Amino acid sequence: MTTPPSIELRDLCFAYPDGTRALRGVSLSVAQGESVAIVGGNGAGKSTLVQHLNGYLMATQGEVRVGGKPIARETVAQVRRAVGLVFQDPDDQLFMASVFDDVAFGPLNFGLSPEAVEKRATAALERVGMLHLRERPPHKLSAGEKRAVAIATVLAMSPEVLVMDEPSSNLDPCGRRRLIHLLRSFDHTKLIVSHDLELVVELCPRSILLDGGVIVADGPTVELFSNEALMLAHGLERPHILRHLHPHG
Ligand SMILES: Nc1ncnc2c1ncn2[C@@H]1O[C@H](COP(=O)(O)OP(=O)(O)OP(=O)(O)O)[C@@H](O)[C@H]1O
Ligand SMILES: [Mg+2]
């Protein structure tokens, strides 16, 4: 038996309550263990798309499957355990009184023992370099500190699929480098939305380019990003890092 794709979208359409049609028929398939970037200009539909992957938004039309199973009301709790989503805005992720409580929230809900929760939360905060903030209220952190803690809340849940919406924004160069190492060491399925195309080149062999709620390109990252006309036509630029790479390397 073949393994079902980790993530599969079939003709996904989504309109917000005010009528804005953000996704207009998106179909894609991500295999288990793949690392894929979703890129595109502001308003392309990237955040709308990834919020469907853990049932935060539900398709107006079409289907989203995770591990072969369609997301529906009955499966959404299971899907949220399998797919960890780091939101673009950390304020959507952090709501407890302390950093520790936010990072412990997911594991606690899984019914782990207090010792196991402590261990998971501590390890996740250590991995993002934010353990020293464990007692601080999240809403009083700097933008980059919030981002790192939001990433820790998802790591603490040990998801099978990691979905991150602009994970490197607001991180300082050291925090960004730490994030790249962290993501590289994570060999599960990854979907990364980012305007940081240099990070994408380092982490994702495949990229999907979105514009106006449709996929305009899907293929090898270096090939897509080297296509200057394609990049410029969709609000992007050829990243500088590619100028230093051998075209076939
Ligand atoms: N809550 C909302 N209500 C109505 N329209 C929305 C809402 N959120 C987003 N949109 C619209 O949906 C479209 C897609 O937005 P989305 O946030 O998915 O873009 P994005 O690709 O993530 O952009 P960015 O790079 O700026 O984060 C845009 O036209 C946006 O104005
Ligand atoms: Mg977005």
Nearest bound ligand to CA 86?
A: 2
Nearest bound ligand to CA 212?
A: 1
Structural domains in the chain (count): 1
Question: Is 141 among the domain residues?
Answer: yes
Average pLDDT over residues 198-207: 96
* Residue ID of nearest Cα to ligand 1 atom 24: 42
CATH number of the domain encompassing residue 40: 3.40.50.300
Question: Is 163 among the domain residues?
Answer: yes
Question: Is 1 among the domain residues?
Answer: no
Provide the pLDDT for residue 40. 97
Provide the pLDDT for residue 192. 98
* Model confidence at 84: pLDDT above 70: yes
Average pLDDT over residues 46-50: 98
Q: Which domain range does residue 214 map to?
A: 7-244
- Better pLDDT: 131 or 111: 131
Question: Is 2 among the domain residues?
Answer: no
pLDDT confidence band for 248 (50 / 70 / 90): low
Which tokens belong to 195?
């305007």
Q: What is the number of the ligand 1 atom nearest to the C-alpha of 44?
A: 21
Report the percent of the chain where pLDDT is more than 70: 97
* Model confidence at 246: pLDDT above 70: no
**2 CB near ligand 1 (under 6 Å):** no
Cα–Cα distance between 123 and 73 in angstroms, integer? 32
Q: What spacing in Å lies between the alpha carbon of 40 and ligand 2's midpoint?
A: 9
Average pLDDT over residues 224-242: 93
- Among the residue ranges 21-25, 218-222, 237-241, the one predicted with the least confidence is 237-241
pLDDT confidence band for 241 (50 / 70 / 90): confident
Which tokens belong to 157?
């849940």
Query: 3-state secondary structure string, the chain?
Result: CCCCCCEEEEEEEEECCCCCEEEEEEEEEECCCCEEEEECCCCCCHHHHHCCCCCCCCCCEEEEEECCEECCCCCHHHHHHHEEEECCCHHHCCCCCCHHHHHHHHHHHCCCCHHHHHHHHHHHHHHCCCHHHCCCCHHHCCHHHHHHHHHHHHHCCCCCEEEEECCCCCCCHHHHHHHHHHHHHCCCEEEEECCCHHHHHHHCCEEEEEECCEEEEEEEHHHHHHCHHHHHHCCCCCCHHHHHCCCCC
pLDDT confidence band for 2 (50 / 70 / 90): low
Question: Is 169 among the domain residues?
Answer: yes
39 contacts 203 by C-beta, under 8 angstroms: no
Average pLDDT over residues 176-183: 93
Provide the pLDDT for residue 243. 77
Question: Is 95 among the domain residues?
Answer: yes
Mean pLDDT (the chain) is: 94
Average pLDDT over residues 4-13: 93
Question: Is 186 among the domain residues?
Answer: yes
Question: Is 194 among the domain residues?
Answer: yes
Provide the pLDDT for residue 181. 93
pLDDT in tens, 91-109: 999 999 999 999 999 999 9
pLDDT confidence band for 179 (50 / 70 / 90): very high
